[in-house]
């Protein structure tokens, strides 16, 4: 099922770089306007032969938040839905969860109460996911994501990615950029599907993490997931995570919430061609509309800072011709 969905999405991906190479118009799902123009201008400044701000290919790094920037985060973070399903699946082995938050609320059918805060969410994810080996966890995520659907739209989560952002990934790659996902979500929750869905390999995924330990189980060496938070990749953690994994300050950063503030700040404070982009969810009809008041994906401080910092604010309703890739899976 995942392969089907991924193939459907991947089927779109080659079009854009090919188009870019062939000189056809890039970013076809973007309406003409300041946001599209700013992205194209940045790419041109950073890569065009003869540009005074041209950057050598090795230093062309761009980073993307995941939830709300590359795929939908409403009605709840995808990983929150994964936590809910895992808590339900594992509840028989954990009678103590009936009295302990956030598990009690989840089991009582009120997951939104329990998981609205991203840090509580991350901790709940870690608590439900420690104990197994990294390879076992990988298999659990693959199995879940293959069939899990957005509760509002009924589409696979892997189809709830943003088509205009896939086109930005493709454009940047066609221009020699290495693109990274830098998410507050769990690094090992994203890796199992990000390569098929975004074309981004595991070493270019940055995220929150739990401790791991090398040990022997049933005579086999494994890397085992420990019940301890190792790293929270949110807010000021994002530049730290980027430095740790990518080893460089990016040239371009795309986010959608205050958790991306420091990532955009660090990125756009460097010299030369820089790009900071905030995706603003303004389309209540085709998607969701939220910013300052939303517990998930709150966009307040970063939005206020955008004008003076020169950050581009994408208005989804105005700037995006399409939101998601076409429903390919229905054709089969």
Q: Cβ closer to a second copy: 143 or 269?
A: 269
The answer to whether 213 contacts a second copy (rule: CB under 8 A) is yes
Half-sphere exposure of 91 (CA within 13 A, CB side): 18
Using the rule CB under 8 A, which residue among 45, 86, 173, 191 binds a second copy?
Answer: 191
CB of 142 to a second copy, least distance (A): 13
CB of 220 to a second copy, least distance (A): 6
The answer to whether 227 contacts a second copy (rule: CB under 8 A) is no
The answer to whether 25 contacts a second copy (rule: CB under 8 A) is no
Binding mask of the shown chain, residues 152 to 181, with x at each position contacting a second copy by CB under 8 A: --------------------------x-x-
Stretch that binds a second copy, among 14-22, 167-175, 210-218, 297-305 (CB under 8 A): 210-218
CB of 315 to a second copy, least distance (A): 27
The answer to whether 271 contacts a second copy (rule: CB under 8 A) is no
**Residue 27 vs residues 17, 35, 326: alpha-carbon distances, Å:** 10, 11, 16
CB 224 within 8 A of CB 213: yes
Using the rule CB under 8 A, which residue among 124, 209, 252, 303 binds a second copy?
Answer: 209
Q: Cβ closer to a second copy: 229 or 289?
A: 229
d(CA 176, CA 191): 22
Q: DSSP per residue over 184-230, as a string?
A: EEEHHHHHHHHHHHH---GGGEEEEEEEEEEEEETTEEEEEEEEEEE
CB 254 within 8 A of CB 164: no
The answer to whether 237 contacts a second copy (rule: CB under 8 A) is yes
Please give the helix or strand (H or E) that residue 133 lies within, else none.
Answer: none
Q: Cβ closer to a second copy: 32 or 215?
A: 215
- How large is the C-alpha radius of gyration of the chain? 20
State both tokens at 115: 């998981």
The answer to whether 204 contacts a second copy (rule: CB under 8 A) is yes
Please count the helices (runs of H) and the strands (runs of E) in the chain. 14, 8
**Residue 3 vs residues 133, 179, 203: alpha-carbon distances, Å:** 24, 22, 21
Q: Whats the size of the chain, residue-wise?
A: 332
Q: Cβ closer to a second copy: 114 or 179?
A: 179
* Interacting residues with a second copy (CB under 8 A): 58, 134-135, 178, 180, 187-188, 191, 195, 201-205, 209, 212-214, 220-223, 236-237, 239-240, 243-249, 262, 265-266, 269
């Amino acid at each position: 099922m995942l392969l089907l969905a991924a193939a459907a999405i991947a089927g779109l991906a080659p079009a854009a770089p090919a188009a870019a190479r062939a000189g056809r118009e890039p970013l076809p799902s973007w309406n003409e306007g300041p946001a599209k123009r700013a992205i194209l201008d940045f790419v041109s400044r950073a890569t065009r032969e003869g540009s005074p701000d041209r950057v050598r290919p090795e230093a062309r790094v761009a980073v993307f938040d995941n939830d709300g920037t590359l795929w939908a985060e409403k009605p709840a973070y995808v990983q929150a839905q994964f936590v809910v399903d895992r808590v339900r699946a594992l509840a028989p082995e954990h009678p103590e969860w009936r009295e302990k938050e956030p598990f009690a609320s989840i089991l009582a059918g009120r997951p939104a109460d329990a998981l609205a805060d991203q840090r509580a969410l991350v901790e709940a994810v870690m608590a439900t996911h420690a104990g197994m080996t990294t390879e076992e966890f990988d298999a659990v995520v693959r199995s879940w994501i293959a069939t899990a659907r957005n509760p509002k739209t009924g589409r696979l989560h892997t189809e709830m990615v943003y088509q205009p952002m896939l086109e930005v990934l493709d454009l940047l790659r066609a221009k020699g950029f290495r693109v990274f996902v830098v998410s507050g979500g769990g690094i090992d929750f994203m890796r199992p599907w990000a390569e098929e869905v975004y074309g981004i390999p595991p070493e270019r995924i940055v995220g929150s993490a739990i401790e791991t330990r090398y040990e022997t189980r049933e005579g086999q060496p494994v890397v085992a997931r420990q019940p301890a938070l190792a790293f929270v990749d949110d807010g000021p953690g994002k530049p730290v995570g980027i430095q740790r994994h990518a080893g460089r300050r990016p040239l371009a950063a795309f986010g959608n919430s205050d958790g991306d503030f420091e990532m955009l700040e660090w990125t756009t404070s460097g010299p030369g061609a820089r790009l900071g982009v905030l995706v603003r969810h303004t389309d209540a009809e085709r998607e969701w509309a939220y910013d300052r008041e939303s517990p998930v994906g709150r966009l307040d401080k970063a939005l206020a800072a955008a004008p003076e910092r020169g950050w581009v604010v994408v208005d989804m309703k105005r700037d995006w011709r399409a939101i998601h890739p076409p429903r390919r899976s229905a054709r089969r």
